[in-house]
Amino acid sequence: MSDTTQVPKAAPKPSGFRFENFSPYFFILPAALVMVAGLVYPVMQALYLSFYDWTIGTPLEDAPYVGIRHYIRMMGDENVRESLWVTLRFGFWTITIEMFLGISLALLLEKPIRGASVFRTIFILPLMVSPVVVGLVWRYLYDARIGWINYYLGQMGIDPQVWLGDPDLAFMAIVITDIWQWTPFIFIIVIAGLQALPSEVLEASKIDGSNWWQHILFVKLPMIKSILIIALLMRLIDVFRSLEVMFIMTGGGPGRATELLSLHIYNRAFSTQQLGYASAISVLLIVLVSLMSVAILRLGNPMKDKADI
């Protein structure tokens, strides 16, 4: 007897315009417009201005066109290289220490121990303070005459230090200030990731005989790798745009010991009124941050697994 089973025919594809096919783009459109207005346009404007020798008070249409002359000058500018080196040193020390302290504090306070809520509240207080206030507070703390730091050093028999007047001490001072302000940021992100880990996996690792260090290094931290990468990326971007605290504490001095690249751009634009040249340095800053961000994401893109689903 012949098989009379019929294969069902595929439903015909709808033709013409259907709102359902384009509805995701309508929801994304407002955010895309905000991104274009707040990000893409300023970047393109900075790139455009970098080809002109424009100063404050001069109409842009009267500014002479210099082509890539600003970029050639920037490559040989010792001040730009020094500010970039200060920024890289500052970023290395602050991000390294903040990641270590933030992860350590999160591991210590992830369990519901007595007083944990009080400690968590204290840890996040620096994030609630305005950068301007942070700069003023720490500037007075480091003051050579009336600062509390020198006062307590004197109580311990240590000679007072000119914290913000010595290049090495001033650099260490801004590093300590940034660590105080931004370690809670790492702490909040990491502890949220730790508390979201599945308890079944953690219990299975304990049953398999893993000790405390193995439990952390080979179970917990690998499971929150994507969260750590996001925290690292956000801190990297923030380091390159740091300005207010350093401007208030040291103004980039003594000399150029604490002049980050963002502060150097500010000084070029508004102190010496070289807006075109400052725009060229801004483009360099954007390129550096973009390259570093891509390098970090290649370590483990947190969106890669979701994109493969």
Confidence of residue 9 (pLDDT cuts 50, 70, 90): low
**Vertex 17, ends 13 and 23: CA angle to 5°?**
100
List pLDDT tens digits, range 119-149: 777 878 888 888 899 999 999 999 888 889 9
In this structure, what are the phi and psi dihedrals at residue 52, rounded to the nearest 5 degrees? -125, 145
Q: Cis peptide leading into 254, omega within 30 of 0?
A: yes
| Cβ atoms of residues 163 and 149 within 8 Å | yes
Whole-number mean pLDDT of the chain?
84
Round to whole Å and give the CA distance between 16 and 18: 6
Round to whole Å and give the CA distance between 162 and 147: 10
pTM: 0.83
In angstroms, what CA-CA distances link 309 with 20, 24, 99, 197, 300? Answer: 22, 18, 30, 20, 16
Question: Sign of the C-alpha dihedral, residues 70, 75, 80, 86?
Answer: positive
Two tokens, residue 178: 């940034």
Round to whole Å and give the CA distance between 243 and 262: 6
pLDDT the model gives residue 309:
37
Confidence of residue 155 (pLDDT cuts 50, 70, 90): confident
Confidence of residue 307 (pLDDT cuts 50, 70, 90): very low
Round to whole Å and give the CA distance between 23 and 17: 11
Q: Rg of the Cα trace of the chain? A: 26
Instruction: For residue 303, give the DSSP letter.
Output: T
> Domains of the chain (ranges plus CATH)?
58-308 (1.10.3720.10)
Round to whole Å and give the CA distance between 160 and 151: 8
In angstroms, what CA-CA distances link 269 with 70, 187, 256, 274? Answer: 13, 36, 17, 5
Round to whole Å and give the CA distance between 268 and 282: 11
In this structure, what are the phi and psi dihedrals at residue 65, rounded to the nearest 5 degrees? -80, 125
List pLDDT tens digits, range 270-299: 888 888 899 999 999 999 999 998 888 887
Two tokens, residue 115: 């007083």
List pLDDT tens digits, range 80-99: 999 999 999 999 999 999 99
Residue ranges in 115-271 assigned as alpha helix (H)? 116-124, 131-141, 148-155, 167-195, 199-207, 212-215, 221-223, 225-240, 244-249, 261-266
| Cβ atoms of residues 244 and 136 within 8 Å | no
